[in-house]
């Protein structure tokens, strides 16, 4: 027997130890002596038969929870099985639809606003939305999931409400005919969010709206002005207030070194609002700049978060299940951002809002076979972060053969950056990081994009929460 490579531990102020196995998600607080058993079993002269009854019992528990495994080979097999199960999961068919690449904002970090060209960006026609709905219906017949999950995104999806409603309506009917539950969410900048839009979508399974706020009023208005330069904060808040009793609203936000400190003021503001109790989740993610010398040859990607040194976009948005994404970078200021993530998570929790724990972050949607992103023209992408660049499309809803797309699809199908992560204990909850970040920063989507320090710091918080004590850091 040996200790699993996916064990992580955090010493507690009481002298006890928080143990977690990131593969099985087992979490427990044990005495330091019990935790030391995990090291002792590795010693050549350790004899289970001669161990104390308490130690034998503890070892049996560790083995049951996956903290002890037969050998390293077993660990690797379990890991591969875990990713395979995730890859093949049919519990839901997940579709992200970009009904338009147009945007009515001129965000500081987004070239669409800066270049003023988004008005002519692609927009899904009603004809295409009908074709997308037919493609989804065909997928339902192949996958046969109990649930269909649709996410509308952009650009700004509320700039193309007709296509969104038409598609949601058609796919809802297709799902209902097959006994499939449809759930819908919308990720919007909030400027055009109205009760009418919500009411139009509720019959088709709308369960949540995510709105982006980039800090307190002053910061947000500077970072996310309307195309005419006007502030948008007050109007967005007014819109959230008008819909909050109809649908749960999640708040997302992008921060960098200069704006992170403005988030506590935003959290205080939100906490004081009459709709605070209706906020489903608050999660922020960093705007990350690529490493010096890193690839920035992906300018045609939809740029919503990652930007280059000139504040031009190089990356994408992240739609991972946690809602906060895990865009990451190998550059030095990453560590700073990791620390800010920690601070923001703590401040968010302190005000009673639900947020991501920073540990259970992956693997992301990219690795699900039955998760798809569809662009305005019906092109299929591996995840929202790779949309907009035709060379990165993996197919088309028309099913038309295309050698380049087929080749790209195979590349994504075999993507497994975690295989380059050695014996990192966080592989099961990280999966090697965000492939979009790897692609934009390193020019190689197959390379890990590592934020290990962020995981370690989030684990410390998780341990503190589990035990209610201050800890001594991850070991």
The contact set with ligand SF4 (CB under 6 A) reads 316, 318-320, 325-326, 364-366, 383, 385, 418, 421, 424, 426-427, 430, 432-436, 448, 450, 452, 455
From the list 431, 434, 455, the residue with the least C-alpha distance to 82 is 431
Count Cβ atoms below 10 Å from residue 84 Cβ, excluding itself.
11
Q: State the Cα torsion 407-409-411-416 to the nearest 10°.
A: -170
- Listed in order, strand segments (DSSP E) in 125-248 are 147-153, 181-188, 206-212
Contact between 101 and 122 (Cβ < 8 Å) = yes
Q: How far apart, in Å, are the Cα atoms of 133 and each of 199, 209, 226, 378?
A: 21, 21, 32, 10
Q: Which is nearer to ligand SF4, 166 or 441 (CB)?
A: 441
Q: Shortest gap between Cβ of 245 and ligand SF4 (angstroms)? A: 31
Type and span of the H or E element at 349: helix 333-350
Contact between 26 and 41 (Cβ < 8 Å) = no
β-pairing, 181-188 vs 279-286, is unpaired
Q: Which is nearer to ligand SF4, 129 or 408 (CB)?
A: 408
Q: Shortest gap between Cβ of 47 and ligand SF4 (angstroms)? A: 34
Q: Shortest gap between Cβ of 418 and ligand SF4 (angstroms)? A: 5
Q: Which is nearer to ligand SF4, 209 or 454 (CB)?
A: 454
| Dihedral over Cα of 28, 34, 37, 39: its sign | positive
What gap in Å lies between CA 447 and CA 456, rounded to an integer? 20
Q: Which is nearer to ligand SF4, 244 or 435 (CB)?
A: 435
Type and span of the H or E element at 452: helix 452-467
CA atoms within 13 A on the CB side of 423: 8
Q: Which is nearer to ligand SF4, 189 or 387 (CB)?
A: 387
CA atoms within 13 A on the CB side of 264: 7
Q: Shortest gap between Cβ of 46 and ligand SF4 (angstroms)? A: 28
What gap in Å lies between CA 153 and CA 159, rounded to an integer? 10
Q: Which is nearer to ligand SF4, 270 or 364 (CB)?
A: 364
What gap in Å lies between CA 224 and CA 287, rounded to an integer? 13
Q: Which is nearer to ligand SF4, 94 or 262 (CB)?
A: 94
Name the H helices within 65-108. 72-88
Q: Which is nearer to ligand SF4, 153 or 172 (CB)?
A: 153
Q: Shortest gap between Cβ of 423 and ligand SF4 (angstroms)? A: 9
CA atoms within 13 A on the CB side of 413: 9
Q: Shortest gap between Cβ of 190 and ligand SF4 (angstroms)? A: 21
Q: Shortest gap between Cβ of 456 and ligand SF4 (angstroms)? A: 9
Q: Which is nearer to ligand SF4, 119 or 420 (CB)?
A: 420
What gap in Å lies between CA 390 and CA 393, rounded to an integer? 5
Q: Shortest gap between Cβ of 252 and ligand SF4 (angstroms)? A: 13
Q: Shortest gap between Cβ of 361 and ligand SF4 (angstroms)? A: 8
Region of 432 on the Ramachandran plot (φ > 0 left; ψ -120 to 50 alpha; else beta) = left
Edge-to-edge strands, sheet with 7-11: 7-11, 17-21, 26-30
Q: Tokens in use for 284? A: 């922020």
**CA of residue 466 relative to chain centroid, distance:** 23
Q: Which is nearer to ligand SF4, 175 or 436 (CB)?
A: 436
Q: Shortest gap between Cβ of 45 and ligand SF4 (angstroms)? A: 32
Q: Shortest gap between Cβ of 291 and ligand SF4 (angstroms)? A: 14
Q: Which is nearer to ligand SF4, 16 or 338 (CB)?
A: 338
What gap in Å lies between CA 252 and CA 269, rounded to an integer? 15
């Amino acid at each position: 027997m040996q200790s699993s490579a996916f064990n992580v531990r955090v010493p507690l102020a009481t002298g006890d130890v928080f143990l977690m196995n990131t593969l099985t998600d087992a979490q427990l607080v044990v005495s330091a002596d019990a935790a030391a058993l995990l090291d002792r079993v590795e010693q050549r002269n350790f004899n289970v038969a001669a161990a104390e009854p308490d130690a034998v019992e503890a070892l049996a528990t560790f083995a049951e929870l996956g903290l002890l495994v037969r050998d390293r080979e077993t660990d690797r097999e379990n890991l591969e099985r875990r990713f395979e199960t995730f890859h093949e999961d049919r519990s839901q068919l997940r579709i992200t639809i970009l009904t338009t690449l147009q945007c009515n904002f001129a965000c500081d970090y987004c070239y669409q606003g800066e270049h003023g060209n988004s008005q002519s960006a692609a927009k899904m026609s009603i004809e295409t939305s009908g074709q997308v709905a037919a493609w989804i219906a065909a997928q339902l017949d192949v996958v046969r999931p109990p649930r269909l999950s649709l996410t509308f995104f952009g650009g700004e999806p509320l700039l193309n409400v007709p296509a969104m409603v038409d598609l949601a309506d058609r796919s809802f009917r297709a799902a209902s005919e097959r006994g499939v539950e449809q759930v819908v969410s919308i990720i919007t900048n909030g400027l055009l969010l109205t009760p009418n839009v919500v009411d139009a979508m509720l019959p088709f399974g709308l369960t949540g709206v995510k709105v982006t706020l980039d800090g307190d009023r002053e910061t947000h208005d500077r970072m996310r002005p309307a195309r005419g330069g006007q502030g948008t904060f007050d109007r967005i808040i007014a819109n959230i207030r008008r819909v909050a009793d109809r649908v749960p609203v999640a708040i997302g936000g992008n921060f960098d070194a200069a704006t992170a400190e403005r988030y506590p003021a935003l959290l205080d503001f939100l906490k004081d609002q009459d709709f605070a109790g209706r906020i489903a989740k608050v999660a922020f993610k960093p705007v990350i700049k690529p490493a010096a010398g890193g690839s920035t040859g992906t300018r045609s990607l939809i740029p919503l978060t990652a930007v280059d040194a000139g504040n031009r976009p190089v990356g994408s948005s992240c739609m991972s299940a946690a809602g906060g994404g895990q865009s990451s970078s190998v550059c030095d200021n990453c560590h700073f951002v990791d620390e800010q993530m920690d601070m923001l998570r703590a401040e968010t929790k302190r005000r009673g809002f639900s947020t991501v724990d920073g540990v259970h972050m992956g693997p992301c949607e990219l690795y699900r076979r039955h998760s798809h992103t569809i662009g305005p023209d019906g092109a299929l992408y591996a995840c929202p972060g790779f949309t907009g660049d035709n060379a990165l499309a993996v197919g088309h809803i028309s099913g038309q053969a295309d050698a380049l797309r087929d080749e790209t699809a195979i590349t994504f199908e075999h993507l497994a950056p975690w295989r380059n992560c050695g014996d990192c204990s966080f592989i099961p909850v990280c999966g090697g990081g965000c492939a979009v970040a790897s692609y934009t920063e390193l020019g190689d989507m197959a390379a890990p994009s590592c934020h290990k320090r962020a995981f370690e710091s989030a684990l410390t918080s998780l341990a503190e929460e589990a035990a209610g004590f201050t800890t001594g850091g991850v070991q």
